[in-house]
């Protein structure tokens, strides 16, 4: 994928700087040797491999070697340069391989999905992150063990916090990095399954107050857990899903991702500052559970919007925006039931454009489409709230007029006939004409039966020279 800016090469040193800075940050917050609450560089590795692909690997390898030397200095293991180099390369290779495989699989899945399957994309992301981080943790621990930085006992206790730490880092931060990168790599937007990572609906002050509340409640739980030294209190952190969900439902996806990152950073800082080693796994799982729930929360507005779009497509004709055939007959049945309950009359008007095929053939289908839209708009302007207007198909429309007797329906049809005659086919000097079939609906009749009678009268009007109204009154049949 290509960055939209011309200085695309800059992404490599920036990636290295960001990765090393994140590593430093997590090292600062270690609660036990080699174990921090969450491992942010894993999130960056995953996002970089997803977006930049294999070209990110050399940079990630340099970072892996660099941090291996830092680890040696931190724990004063005094390994030889040869051993450290080898360990760094092995650690880098297994780290890149684990996340590279995961990113590759996710890329394939996302490319096959559409907007409506955002929950499937989220599920795939969560499963892939879970498995990639497990591979990265097992092979990472193994590489430290082979290099002698870690003994067997240390390795046994380390793989689980390493795994959950990597998983939390990836789960929380990879979507945030993707959101940031989507500004330079527009293609990512389509991967985000309909999520708009650019827009912000509310003022920043409102967002910050929600974020502060969430961090304040988190601090309260962690301080209480530290003070009373009770793991039960630590579980209270799971309740903080509520403020996070509030942010997810009311703020933009980008702000939601940012809030998860801030929330987990605050958790890691408190964790290290208060030395809450025994409760580490509770907090690590809480980060993962809250992040996973938040992502499904993000999918809800997208699903609601696509549901709305689908029902609009089912109810309305896509071109003219009047009721579709099916929806017209359904609504008409309900309207007729109400009309009859009050003992009111009802009428049906069918109208069909004259020689519409000629318009299409002479000026093209696009002009024909515009003529249909203009006709629909003209008719709509004449309707009452209770009238039902639909498109049967092609150039044929239908109009149910509740509370209207045949005489008034005929007047309405005549008014429409004149109005349509005044419509010029867009971009041409041709005028539209239409033929009509008008019936009063009998009290025992269904809308379909009335439709058949009106259609017959419409055919009569066509046979009688078009631009006219066929009705029982007029034809006398």
Ligand X SMILES: Nc1nc2c(ncn2[C@@H]2O[C@H](COP(=O)(O)OP(=O)(O)OP(=O)(O)O)[C@@H](O)[C@H]2O)c(=O)[nH]1
Closest residue to ligand X, Cβ-based? 368
Given a contact cutoff of 8 angstroms between Cβ atoms, the answer to whether 31 and 275 are in contact is yes
Q: Which residue has the tokens 């039960």?
A: 232
The answer to the question of residue 360 lying near ligand X (CB under 6 A) is yes
Can you tell me which of 72, 166, 251, 352 binds ligand X, judged by CB under 6 A? Answer: 352
Q: CA neighbours within 13 Å on the CB side: how many for 106? A: 32
Applying CB under 6 A, the site for ligand X has a residue count of 16
Q: Which of residues 458-477 bind ligand X (CB under 6 A)?
A: 462, 466
Q: Whole-number minimum distance, CB 202 to ligand X, in Å?
A: 41
> What's the min distance (Å) between Cβ of 440 and ligand X?
24
Question: Rule CB under 6 A: is residue 353 a binding residue for ligand X?
Answer: yes
Please tell me whether residue 445 binds ligand X under the rule CB under 6 A.
no
d(CA 407, CA 387): 16
Query: How many alpha carbons fall within 13 Å on the CB side of residue 19?
Result: 27
Q: Which is nearer to ligand X, 107 or 374 (CB)?
A: 374
CB 267, CB 237: distance < 8 Å: yes
Residue (275 or 431) nearer to ligand X, CB: 431
Q: Is 399 helix (H, G, I), strand (E, B) or coil?
A: strand
Q: Smallest distance from the beta carbon of 47 to ligand X, in angstroms?
A: 45
SS3 464: coil
Pick the binder of ligand X from 387, 395, 455, 460 (CB under 6 A).
395
* Least separation in angstroms between CB 340 and ligand X: 32
Question: In angstroms, what is the minimal distance from the CB of 331 to ligand X?
Answer: 21
Structure tokens at 441: 């609906």
Residue count (the chain): 477
Q: Looking at 229-252, list the stretches that DSSP marks H as alpha helix, in order from N- to C-terminal side.
A: 231-234, 241-250
Residue 354 sits in the site that holds ligand X (CB under 6 A): yes
Taking CB under 6 A as the criterion, the residue among 242, 304, 314, 319 binding ligand X is 319
Q: Rounded to 5 degrees, what are φ and ψ at 39?
A: -115, 90
- Choice between 271 and 372, CB closer to ligand X: 372
Q: Which of 163, 295, 328, 356 binds ligand X (CB under 6 A)?
A: 356
Give the pair of three-digit tokens for residue 438: 């008008």
Site for ligand X in 364-393 (CB under 6 A): 365, 368-369, 372
Distance CA 80, CA 88 (A): 12
**Residue 317 makes contact with ligand X by CB under 6 A:** no
306 contributes a contact to ligand X by CB under 6 A: no
3-state secondary structure of 156: helix
Q: Is 89 helix (H, G, I), strand (E, B) or coil?
A: helix
CB of residue 469 to ligand X, shortest distance in Å: 14
Span of 28-36, 328-336, 355-363, 419-427 interacting with ligand X by CB under 6 A: 355-363
Bridge partners (DSSP) listed for residue 435: 352
Q: Which is nearer to ligand X, 41 or 368 (CB)?
A: 368
For ligand X, the closer of residues 183 and 374 by Cβ is 374
Tell me how far, at minimum, the Cβ of 329 lies from ligand X, in Å.
19
**148 vs 394 by CB, closer to ligand X:** 394
Contact pick of 394, 407, 427, 443 for ligand X (by CB under 6 A): 394
Under 8 Å CB-to-CB from 105, ≥6 apart: which residues?
A: 124, 128
Q: Which residues have CB under 8 Å from 162's CB, separation 6+?
A: 34, 35, 39, 137, 140, 141
> Shortest CA distance to 398 belongs to which of 343, 355, 452?
452
Q: Which stretch binds ligand X (CB under 6 A): 50-58, 82-90, 198-206, 350-358?
A: 350-358
**Residue closer to ligand X (CB basis): 140 or 390:** 390
Least distance in angstroms from the C-beta of 311 to ligand X: 21
Candidates 301, 303, 296; CA nearest to 260 is: 296
* Site membership for ligand X, residue 355 (CB under 6 A): yes
Nearer to ligand X, 73 or 357 (CB): 357
Instruction: Name every residue whose Cβ is closer than 8 Å to that of residue 174 and which is 6 or more positions away in sequence.
Output: 43, 44, 46, 47, 50, 125, 129
> Of the candidates 24, 108, 200, 357, which one interacts with ligand X according to CB under 6 A?
357
**Burial state string for 286-312 with b = 16 or more CB within 10 A and e = fewer than 16:** bbbebbbebbbbbbebbbeebeeeeee
Instruction: Check binding of 455 to ligand X (CB under 6 A).
Output: no
Residue 340 in the binding site for ligand X (CB under 6 A):
no
Q: In this structure, is the dihedral angle defined by the CA atoms of residues 268, 273, 278 and 279, taken in order, positive or negative?
A: negative
- Which residue lies nearer to ligand X by CB, 220 or 313? 313
Q: Is the dihedral of CA 46, 48, 54, 58 positive or negative?
A: negative
Taking the complex as a whole, the smallest distance from the CB of residue 360 to ligand X amounts, in Å, to 5
Query: What residues line the site for ligand X (CB under 6 A)?
Result: 319, 352-357, 360, 365, 368-369, 372, 394-395, 462, 466
């Amino acid at each position: 994928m290509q960055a939209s800016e011309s200085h695309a090469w800059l992404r490599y040193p920036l990636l290295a700087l960001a990765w090393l800075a994140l590593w430093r940050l997590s090292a600062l917050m270690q609660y036990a040797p080699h174990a921090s609450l969450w491992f942010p560089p894993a999130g960056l590795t995953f996002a970089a491999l997803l977006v930049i692909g294999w070209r990110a690997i050399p940079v990630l390898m340099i970072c892996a070697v660099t941090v291996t030397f830092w680890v040696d200095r931190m724990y004063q293991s005094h390994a030889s340069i040869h051993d450290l180099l080898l360990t760094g390369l092995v650690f880098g290779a297994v780290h890149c391989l684990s996340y590279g495989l995961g990113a590759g699989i996710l890329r394939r899945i996302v490319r096959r999905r559409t907007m409506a399957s955002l929950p499937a994309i989220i599920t795939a992301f969560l499963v892939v992150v879970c498995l990639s981080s497990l591979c990265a943790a097992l092979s990472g621990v193994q590489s430290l063990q082979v290099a002698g930085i870690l003994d067997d006992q240390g390795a046994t206790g380390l793989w689980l916090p390493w795994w959950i730490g990597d998983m939390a880092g990836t789960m929380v931060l990879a979507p945030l990095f993707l959101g940031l990168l989507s500004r330079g790599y527009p293609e990512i937007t389509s991967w985000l399954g309909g999520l708009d990572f650019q827009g912000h609906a509310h003022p920043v002050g409102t967002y910050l107050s929600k974020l502060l509340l969430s961090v304040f409640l988190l601090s309260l739980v962690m301080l209480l857990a530290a003070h009373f030294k009770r793991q039960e209190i630590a579980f209270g952190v799971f309740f903080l899903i509520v403020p996070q969900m509030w942010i997810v439902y009311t703020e933009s996806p980008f702000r939601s991702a940012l809030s998860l990152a801030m929330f987990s950073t605050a958790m890691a800082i408190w964790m290290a500052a208060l030395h809450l080693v025994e409760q580490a796994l509770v907090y690590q799982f809480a980060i993962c559970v809250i992040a996973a729930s938040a992502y499904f929360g993000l999918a809800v507005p997208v699903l609601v919007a696509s549901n709305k779009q689908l029902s609009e497509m089912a109810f309305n004709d896509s071109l003219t925006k009047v009721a579709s055939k099916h929806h017209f007959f359904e609504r008409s049945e309900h309207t007729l039931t109400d009309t009859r309950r009050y003992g009111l009359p009802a009428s049906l008007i069918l109208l069909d454009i004259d020689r519409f095929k000629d318009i299409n053939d002479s000026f093209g289908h696009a002009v024909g489409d515009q003529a249909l839209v203009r006709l629909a708009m003209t008719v709509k302007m004449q309707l009452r709230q209770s009238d039902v207007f639909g498109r049967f198909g092609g150039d044929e429309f239908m109009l149910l007029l509740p509370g209207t007797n045949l005489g008034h329906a005929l007047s309405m049809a005549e008014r429409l006939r004149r109005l349509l005659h005044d419509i010029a086919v867009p971009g041409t000097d041709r005028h539209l004409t239409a033929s009509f079939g008008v019936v009063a609906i009998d009290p025992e009749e269904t809308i379909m039966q009335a439709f058949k009678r009106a259609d017959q009268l419409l055919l009569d009007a066509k046979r009688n020279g078009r631009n006219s109204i066929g009705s029982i009154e007029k034809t006398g049949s």
